[in-house]
Amino acid sequence: MVDESNNLNYEEWSNYGATLLVEGDVIPVENAHTKGSNWTAYVNVVCLLAGSGTLGITYAIKQGGWISVIILMISAIMSTYSNIKLIECLYYDRKTRKTSMSEIAYNAFGNVGMENWVYIWGIIMFVPFILLKTMKEAAWLSFSYGGNVVYPHVEASMKNPQAWPKVISLATFTVTIMYFLIGIPSYLTYGQNSLSPIYFNLPIGFSVTISIIMITAHVLLALPIYQTAFAIELENYLGITVENLGKSRELIWRIIIRTIITISMIYCAINLPYFSDFMALLGAMGNGVLLNFMPIVVWLKLFGWNQLNGWKEKFWIIFILVFSFLGAVIGTWDALKALWLDINHQ
């Protein structure tokens, strides 16, 4: 946790919850950032968020009702706030910039034993099993704005990292508008007959073909961003850096590692049984924990409860943690249930 000398004076609720990213508070870190523009960062974030899940928004509204639209707006605000806090954690010691979510999590908590996590997730799975008769009652909690595992790398590419709160706010707002433009008119049109993805409701023809081509192209173009973020962390963990190996050897090993990653990904997509259900399980567990819960918990560990700006922000933090916890639990349980049903039917 940071010491008392790092106490920050900032206006309540200023800069969308930012405390370290306001101008003058960021500690310059040599070679921490490149010269990418704010516009490039904005486009990267929008491309990460507005994936094929956009086409499932109508079905989510069908499952949760019109309250899902309100939940969607709340989720967007929580996501923006959490991702600002996430980037603040990269600068928590005010001397060096950390590079990834895994690094700040390690600095906050160190190595947590596998046995402890088994107990934790066992308790988490117990909650919905006891309290919820079916998952449909809380399907609306499954909204997500996943992508923040890549955000440290996006922010590192910005020439002006102080603009991150504005970039992430505008990008999240843009994606939310996209959700509304697709989800609400589609639900008004198809109602309880809405399918996921929504183009399944459309008559087969040229428009559907173009839709499939466009969303497939988007997924394929966005995937390298996630792959690169994962590869960078793996390479750093294995010590594959220019400093350790030199430029030539680093390049060779980087090519080898990323080739193995690509082959492994293709193999899993082709051969893994019940791939869609398995990916839903990973998404529910991963997004549920990484999106809001993890950044907030790490921020509290690094900076401390007293660094929060009054009772309003403290209440907001508690709300985010409870909401995110329920979303992760319910989404994970629902995905496990679907996977189990598929296995039994087989």
In terms of pLDDT, which residue wins out, 138 or 188?
188
DSSP-derived 3-state class of residue 36: strand
* Total Cβ atoms within 10 A of residue 265: 13
Task: Kindly report which listed range (48-62, 179-193, 215-229, 319-333) carries the lowest average pLDDT score.
Answer: 215-229
Arithmetic mean of pLDDT over the chain = 74
Calculate mean pLDDT across residues 8-36: 44
pLDDT of residue 167: 93
The enclosing H or E element of 297 equals: helix 294-303
- Residue 36 sits at φ, ψ, to 5 deg, of -70, 150
CA atoms within 13 A on the CB side of 59: 13
Closest CA relative to residue 219, chosen from 50, 28, 91, 93:
50
Q: Is the per-residue pLDDT at 69 higher than 60? A: yes
Where do the domains of the chain lie? Answer: 18-201+272-345
Whether the pLDDT of residue 114 is over 50: the answer is no
Residue 112: pLDDT over 70: no
State the Cα torsion 328-330-332-333 to the nearest 10°: 160
Mind listing the pLDDT tens digit for each residue in 152-189? 878 888 888 889 999 999 999 999 998 898 889 988 98
In this structure, are residues 332 and 284 in contact, taking their beta carbons and an 8 Å threshold? yes
Top pLDDT among 33 and 14 is at 33
6 confidence band (pLDDT: 50, 70, 90):
very low
pTM, two decimal places: 0.68
- The token pair at 8 is 């920050």
| CA distance from start to end of the chain | 51
Q: Which residue's entry shows tokens 């709300």?
A: 319
Q: Is the peptide bond between 224 and the residue preceding it cis, with omega within 30 degrees of 0?
A: no
CA angle (284 as vertex; 234, 113 as ends), nearest 5: 55
